[in-house]
Amino acid sequence: MTKIACLAGAAVAALLATSAAAQTSEEATRAYLDQIKAKNDILHAVIAVNPAALADARARDAERKAGKVRSAIHGLLILLKDNIESAEPLATTAGSLALKDNVTGRDAPLVKGLRDSGAVILGKANLSEWANIRSNNSISGWSAVGGTVRNPYVLDRSACGSSSGSGAAVAAGLAWAAIGTETDGSITCPAAINGLVGLKPTVGLVSRTHIVPISHSQDTAGPMTTTVEDAARILTAIAGSDPADVATKAADSHKTDYAKGLSKDALKGVTLAVARFYTGYSPKTDAVFEQALADLKAQGATLVEVKAFDEGPIGAAEGVVLYTELKVDLAAYLASTDPKKVPSRTLADLIAFNKATPHEFEWFGQESFEKAEKTKGYSDPDYIKALADSKRLAGPEGIDRILKETGAVAIVAPTTGPAWTIDPLNGDNYGGSPTTLPAVAGYPHLTVPMGQVTGLPVGLSFIGPAWSEKLLLNLGYAYEQATMKRKAPTFLPTIAP
């Protein structure tokens, strides 16, 4: 506790210094590397730093000096969640010791998009191991490779998962932005809990090639940033079709400049559906949400209440889909790696590896892996039915129906409650969340800071139909600019009466 406590008080001011005043990308890189050196021993947010970051930053500076600016993110520093491959000599581990030597030399297409836009890859962010699919009793933010990510607002609190390191790092000033991935809540929860903007795009807008998978039906990558405009700029760089990912076939036809035309007046005259069925889990969060609703109305939005919706059948079907797809999709990914570096070639191999590796079982087991191993593949009638039911219930009969019946363009809800205390013995203590509907439907979900509960951030969710990223970013931008609710972290050691 002594080391943690040293971050409180006057020491915080010095540590909060970032590259905001830097003149060059090289200076910004050095500033972020200094921040990682100062904070990461406590936050455990970064697994690895790109050894070529400074050289890449100098190259971007040289281009700028020569009059070549590739995009609005030229020379800016981005962390990648460590289930996303990049060409640097860094392992892509998904937090697991089974992948500790998984240096592929490949850029995921989204990473190529970032590079082509002039961004600099700063390194890899810690995460919930295997993106939180190994066990239902897991600790969000823990991985055998990276340890436990701590929330920079209150250090004994969870950073949520599975993109925990991405959220904590950006919030704490260790990078300008980060890329997270989500299957169900893994961008939006850590973004909200770490006081950030987080966008889970429509499944198929951003390629998943060379990303360690859970589910091809629900997986997607997206930006985690301090502002809506920054998220829009990153999405512009990473969106697009990829021949290797069939889900992205239509992406190019939907891709646009998401930052162009962002308007402070975007809430005027729009109707929003208030998902009241996502309240009641955290009274203090509900109070912040009521203020957010008042702020939306003050900006010209009309609010229509939706008091009830039964997610139970969706959740049950989702489980069948995720476990079935995990077994097949993960084996396909492992087959693409070097067997000399990654001896595990199947989910069964990973289960055996974990049993033989005590550190992997330090805090929780792998009952979810074992459940997935028992699934029967894509020809299983139970899987086929669950996939069809879940998509129908969450999409046409879920989000689409709510929007049609209310005349709304988007749904709003509290993203989740404040961060819970890290508890390695009992695991996570999640509250309510609206993540499942858009995750299962494959629709976009944006979270924007809406205030704090006793110093802990909470977020406001905007959920829309497929391919509505431009709309959601505009709504979120108008709300953000009218309220400016984000506050910098305080690095408190704990909250206690």
Contacts of residue 231, defined as CB under 8 A and 6 or more positions apart, other chains included, come to: 177, 197, 198, 199, 222, 223, 224, 225, 446, 473
Q: For residue 111, give both structure tokens.
A: 């990473």
Catalytic residue ranges = 81, 162, 186
How far out from the chain centre does Cα 130 lie?
Answer: 14
Q: How far apart are CA 473 and CA 469, in angstroms?
A: 6
Q: Are strands 410-414 and 147-148 parallel, antiparallel or unpaired?
A: unpaired
Long-range contacts at 57-64 (CB < 8 A, ≥ 24 apart): 57/24, 57/25, 57/26, 57/28, 57/29, 57/120, 58/25, 58/26, 60/25, 60/118, 60/120, 61/24, 61/25, 61/26, 63/118, 64/25
Q: How far apart are CA 212 and CA 333, in angstroms?
A: 7
Q: How far apart are CA 343 and CA 356, in angstroms?
A: 14
What does residue 114 show for φ and ψ, rounded to 5 degrees? Answer: -65, -45
How far out from the chain centre does Cα 253 lie?
Answer: 24
Q: How far apart are CA 68 and CA 182, in angstroms?
A: 34
Burial of 268 (0-12, 13-18, 19+ CB in 10 A): exposed
Q: How far apart are CA 495 and CA 497, in angstroms?
A: 7
Identity at 345, one-letter amino acid code: R
Contacts of residue 470, defined as CB under 8 A and 6 or more positions apart, other chains included, come to: 256, 258
Q: For residue 261, give both structure tokens.
A: 């035309």
Exposure string (b/e) for 113-134, b if CB count within 10 Å is 16 or more?
Answer: bbbebbbbbbbbbbbbbbbbbb
End-to-end alpha-carbon separation of the chain, Å? Answer: 17
Dihedral angle sign, alpha carbons of residues 240, 89, 102, 364? negative
